[in-house]
Structure 1
């Protein structure tokens, strides 16, 4: 009887091929392909994530183009409209980087007279710098009340505080004073933009308060 090993030694004999089970072969192939040598040029996880994002965006855009009247042209029109709306909101509300940070100081420099602030306000208004004009006019309002001793000169006062304190002696103008303080905060710290109408209201208030008669507070209550 000729065994397999003996047959391999006989002249002209052929060795039967060795076979490997399918599962073992698959595992061996996986181990081989998992070696770093075969993955040197693979994209990074970040690059794969970016690629998947662009694939998703492409699929989404394609689906939107199919569902939108006009196809790609319709998508372009929608994009243009959205951009214009964002630009309009940006212009109306101001840059997000200048988001409101709360009320700040009314005066940010040395002591100046009400007349000086009014002159600066008019100069800014003549040049179309409405935000600066509003700021200076509000400072003129408060400085004028200090000069008339209706407000005590106090460093660090905010526009809201000045309006609240001035309303005690000018109760008939409390609403206008609060609105003026809010306008000052909006254009100074809230990123809003002023215009000629905003400045005109501050200027009219300044002129009105110059002629307004205060209510003097006595121990028995307010008296004219």
Structure 2
């Protein structure tokens, strides 16, 4: 009897002890339960939007970069600021000295278009552009007037596709005293037509004076022409 009573008492003691021991929840299910709970919208009403999160990451990255650079630069943050200022100053000086980069890969095009005009017509167009202070167009038309006048005087053979440089080089053989001014005029034409430069009144007046001077110049006869004249 006492044995049975002792056994019963021991069982009761074990049951009571098991009730007092806390039950451990497995780690993985507990993590999943917490994640599920925190995923509810009520916990994310005040979260930043996608753009704000992206900006926060960007500023964080820039801050880390600045901190790394300041640690590497002599003098710390102040030295880094001075270094950046020097670089910006050099870039500004180069920009001022060289100007806006221009595309220089465009090949030279023909001096004249597909609608041929006389030298007088080109001069009239040049004067109209000059009155309106469209100096680029005025310079272009005056150069065309010079070359067309040389063709009309048979000092240049009419040739489709001729460029301003080619015309100046060929005309310089018949007008050696004007070879250098002609090459300069061709260079001005190319600068405003293909180089992105802007002409001014002085450039146009110089080309106008060259046109009038060439109009009254006497060409140098070649050996063949001199023999025919004799």
Interval of TM-score (by shorter of Structure 1 and Structure 2): 0.5 to 0.7
Is 1:170 aligned to residue 191 of structure 2? no
Q: How far does the alpha carbon of each residue in 1:146-205 deviate from its partner, in whole angstroms, 9 at most, with x for none?
A: 000000111111111111111111122111111111110100111000001110111111
Which structure dedicates a bigger proportion of its chain to helix? 2
Higher relative contact order (CA 8 A, sep 6+): 1
Q: Say what the alpha-carbon RMSD is for the aligned residues.
A: 4.5
Q: Distance in 2 between matches of 1:155 and 1:67?
A: 59
Partner residue of 1:132 out of 123, 128, 137: 137
Q: How many residues align?
A: 194
Give structure 2 stretches of 5+ with no counterpart. Answer: 1-10, 41-47, 70-76
Match 2:103 to one of 84, 99, 103? 99
> Does the 8 Å CA contact 1:141/1:206 hold for their aligned counterparts?
yes
- Hey, what does 2:196 align to over in structure 1? 191
Matched residues in 1 for 2:175 and 2:132: separation?
Answer: 32
Separation in structure 2 between the aligned mates of residue 103 and residue 7 of structure 1, nearest angstrom? 109
Q: Distance in 1 between matches of 2:124 and 2:134?
A: 14
CA contact (8 A) 1:160 1:181 kept: yes
Paired with 1:179 and 1:220, the residues of 2 have a C-alpha distance of: 28
Q: What's the counterpart of residue 21 of structure 2?
A: 15
Deviation at 1:7, TM superposition (A): 10
Q: TM-score, normalised by structure 1?
A: 0.65
1:216 is paired with a residue whose SS is coil
Query: For residues 212 and 157 of structure 1, what CA distance do their matches in structure 2 show?
Result: 22
**5+ unaligned residues in a row in structure 1: which ranges?**
1-5, 69-74
- The answer to whether 1:144 aligns with 2:172 is no
C-alpha change, 1:7 and 1:178, in structure 2 (3 Å) is: farther
